[in-house]
């Protein structure tokens, strides 16, 4: 539906920029349920696509009945923004880029230049009130913790990241715009938003838990945070708009900033633990000092800056992230309570409960049960043994390998003598095992059938097929190498040959020990940190592909 068409008909219209974002969706629903507003959802996509539950629920009905409309608008395009604001009385400016992407150019173009366009469009379209969604990070310098800060706290001389810096610049623009051509403005600073529909905090926390990373606490674990349930964030915006709409309220609130929280500070790592436990995962318990993590984070950040142009993904472990995880960040809501009439609608306890219940698909029991390591090992007894899923079986195999190692390497036997003795021991074991009754002192003895050693025609066919497939893959790789344009493959082959060269230079005794250790630890490590290893491998492949394409293009130019 076009914005201009949506502006027709009766009722007051308001606009929510970034209206398909996490907190914005809750605000849109709250405004529609109030019955006081018709809402125009403005966002980047050319058309709106509702989730299934939205389509079948209240929001879908609001669109069908004309109480809600969609406007495609990029904040960096003045004309699009102006069209989206036509006929609107109020604008809730919530649009912002992902804060985890530390790109000054992106954040400046959207947060600063985009906000300038929003203000200009409000004045051009005679919008009466503009409520801007800012961030508490605008007063955080990335070094010193914040405890119960109020709105008198100044902007820092240096910000923690480009997102915070540009949000502060945008906030200044909005406050300076107050009173221009009758436009009333104020800024809302919601702290650490959480709740149903969040696609960042909870999913990333669960991903860390499944990768085995959530057990760690950065710092001493005693830093406090103000987390805010998403419905309370939406209500804070509504309170600001209602206050600005009255003559007396406008005199008090116009041109001001307001912190919005749940008014229930909690230890950061306790909050994370409650979410993890609610979803069935273990709470963090291993504390790592900031002094240990910070040098590592600086190395990771330096590496990213060097290899970002080759396709390396944005790392999670950065100095700014370490500071955020280990500092106090609590804020006073007294001004919002006294001047806007804000009170949290949902307590922290209830908000946590609702949040956990909204992610049934992320519960621990729904975790992927079959890992790639298990699939590679055949997902059978071999996988259970190597991945320590059957501890008794793994220990038995390791003891057997120890016996083999003893007979092959430490007894001084020749290879033929050692194999003969091992076969003799195996035959003696099978003979005695066959003589034992099926029940010995209450313990059931599983008999070995001849079929256990029989290879069926189907199995033989599978083995032959696997061998032929491997051979064909080798030939295909050789053919690709001969073309001279597959750099990633070349590096893989070179690395494989290097490994073979290293192994062949070892004695058989050393190769046996190292190989056994690698098999029983390497696969287990891969299973535990599968996502991280795959991500690193993907980054490496991207770098190799970029390197290869660069080499290829340079060689073509020379020709």
For helices 508-528 and 530-558, angle between their N-to-C axes, nearest 10 degrees: 100
What are residue 72's DSSP bridge partners? Answer: 43
Model pTM?
A: 0.67
Residues contacting residue 134 through CB under 8 Å, at least 6 positions apart: 167, 168, 170, 171, 174, 187, 188, 189, 257
Strands 88-93 and 266-267: unpaired
pLDDT at 130: 98
What distance in Å separates the CA atoms of residue 406 and residue 38, rounded to the nearest whole number? 81
Q: Is 215 exposed, middle or buried (0-12, 13-18, 19+ CB in 10 A)?
A: middle
The Cβ-side half-sphere exposure at 49, using a 13 Å CA radius, reads: 3
Query: What stretch of H or E contains 57?
Result: none
How many Cβ atoms are within 10 Å of 359's Cβ, its own excluded? Answer: 18
Joined together, the tokens standing for residue 185 give: 């403005």
Say if residues 267 and 221 touch (Cβ distance below 8 Å).
yes
What distance in Å separates the CA atoms of residue 458 and residue 342, rounded to the nearest whole number? 72
What distance in Å separates the CA atoms of residue 25 and residue 295, rounded to the nearest whole number? 39
Joined together, the tokens standing for residue 182 give: 């009758």
**Burial track 15-51 (b if 16+ CB lie within 10 A, e otherwise):** bbbbbbbbbbbbbbbbbbeeeebbbbbbbeeeebeee
Say if residues 98 and 201 touch (Cβ distance below 8 Å).
no
Q: What totals of helices (H) and strands (E) does the chain contain, helices first?
A: 24, 17
In degrees and rounded to multiples of 5, residue 370 shows phi and psi of: -110, 115
What distance in Å separates the CA atoms of residue 523 and residue 481, rounded to the nearest whole number? 29
Joined together, the tokens standing for residue 161 give: 């990241």
Task: Flag residues of the chain having pLDDT under 70.
Answer: 1-10, 309-314, 366-381, 407-408, 412-415, 440-466, 469-470, 473, 485-489, 503, 508, 531, 534-535, 537-559
Residues contacting residue 474 through CB under 8 Å, at least 6 positions apart: none
What are residue 132's DSSP bridge partners? Answer: 93, 187
Q: Catalytic amino acids?
A: 167
- Taking alpha carbons only, the member of 202, 192, 190, 200 closest to residue 355 is 202
What distance in Å separates the CA atoms of residue 476 and residue 467, rounded to the nearest whole number? 14
Q: Give start and end residues of each alpha helix (H) in 160-226.
A: 162-177, 201-210
Q: Give start and end residues of each alpha helix (H) in 136-263.
A: 162-177, 201-210, 230-245, 247-253
Joined together, the tokens standing for residue 401 give: 């390998």
- Per-residue CA distances from 350 to 274, 282, 293, 356 (Å): 12, 21, 34, 10
In degrees and rounded to multiples of 5, residue 369 shows phi and psi of: -85, -25
Say if residues 276 and 212 touch (Cβ distance below 8 Å).
no
CA 381 to chain centre: 33
pLDDT at 459: 59
pLDDT at 124: 97
What distance in Å separates the CA atoms of residue 188 and residue 134, rounded to the nearest whole number? 6
pLDDT (tens digit, 9 = 90+) per residue, 296-352?
A: 888 888 887 777 766 666 677 788 888 889 999 999 999 999 999 999 999 999 999
Residues contacting residue 99 through CB under 8 Å, at least 6 positions apart: 135, 137, 161, 163
Q: What share of the chain is helix, strand, coil (3-state, %, to 5)?
A: 60, 10, 30
What distance in Å separates the CA atoms of residue 510 and residue 505, rounded to the nearest whole number? 10
């Amino acid at each position: 539906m076009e914005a201009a068409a949506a502006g027709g008909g009766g009722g007051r219209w308001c606009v929510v920029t970034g209206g398909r974002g996490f907190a914005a969706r809750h605000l849109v629903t709250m405004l529609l349920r109030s019955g006081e507003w018709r809402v125009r959802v403005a966002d980047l996509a050319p058309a709106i696509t509702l989730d299934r539950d939205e389509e079948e629920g209240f929001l879908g009905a609001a669109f069908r009945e004309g109480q809600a409309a969609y406007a495609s608008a990029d904040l960096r395009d003045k004309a699009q923004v102006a069209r989206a604001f036509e006929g609107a009385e109020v604008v809730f400016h919530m649009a912002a880029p992902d804060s985890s992407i530390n790109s000054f150019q992106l954040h400046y173009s959207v947060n600063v230049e985009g906000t300038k366009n929003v203000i200009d469009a409000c004045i051009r379209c005679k919008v009466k009130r503009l409520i801007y969604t800012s961030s508490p990070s605008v007063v955080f310098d990335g070094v010193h913790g914040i405890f119960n800060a109020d709105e008198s706290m100044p902007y820092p001389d240096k910000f923690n990241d480009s997102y915070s810096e540009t949000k502060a610049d945008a906030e200044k623009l909005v406050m300076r715009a107050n009173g221009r051509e009758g436009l009333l403005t104020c800024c809302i600073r919601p702290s650490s938003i959480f709740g149903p529909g969040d696609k960042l905090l909870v999913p990333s926390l669960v991903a860390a838990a499944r990768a085995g990373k959530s057990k760690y606490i950065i710092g001493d674990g005693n830093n406090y945070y103000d987390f805010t349930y998403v419905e309370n964030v939406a209500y804070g915006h509504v309170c600001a708009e209602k206050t600005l709409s009255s003559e007396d309220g406008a005199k008090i609130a116009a041109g001001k900033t307001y912190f919005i929280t749940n008014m229930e500070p909690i230890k950061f790592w306790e909050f994370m633990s409650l979410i993890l436990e609610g979803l069935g995962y273990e709470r963090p318990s291993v504390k790592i000092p900031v002094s240990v993590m910070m040098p590592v984070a600086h190395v990771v950040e330096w590496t990213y800056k060097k290899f970002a142009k080759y396709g390396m993904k944005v790392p999670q472990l950065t100095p700014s992230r370490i500071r955020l995880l280990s500092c106090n960040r609590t804020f006073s809501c007294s001004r919002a309570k006294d001047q806007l009439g804000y009170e949290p609608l949902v307590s922290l306890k209830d908000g946590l409960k609702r949040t956990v219940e909204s992610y049934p698909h992320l519960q621990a029991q729904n975790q992927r049960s079959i890992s790639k390591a298990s699939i590679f090992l055949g997902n059978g007894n071999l996988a259970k043994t190597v991945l320590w899923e059957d501890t008794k079986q793994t220990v038995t195999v390791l003891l057997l390998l120890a016996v083999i190692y003893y007979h092959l390497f430490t007894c001084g036997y020749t290879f033929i003598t050692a194999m003969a003795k091992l076969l003799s021991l195996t035959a003696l074991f099978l003979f005695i095992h066959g003589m034992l009754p099926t029940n010995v002192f209450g313990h059931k003895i599983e008999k070995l059938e001849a079929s256990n050693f029989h290879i069926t025609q189907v199995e033989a066919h599978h083995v032959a097929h696997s061998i032929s497939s491997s051979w064909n893959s080798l030939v295909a790789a050789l053919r690709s190498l001969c073309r001279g344009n597959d750099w990633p493959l070349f590096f893989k082959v070179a690395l494989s040959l290097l490994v073979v060269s290293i192994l062949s230079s070892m004695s058989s005794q050393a190769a046996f020990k190292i190989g056994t250790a690698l098999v029983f630890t390497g696969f287990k490590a891969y299973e535990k940190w599968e996502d991280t290893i795959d991500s690193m491998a993907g980054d490496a492949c991207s770098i190799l592909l970029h390197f290869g394409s660069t080499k290829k293009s340079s060689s073509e130019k020379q020709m």
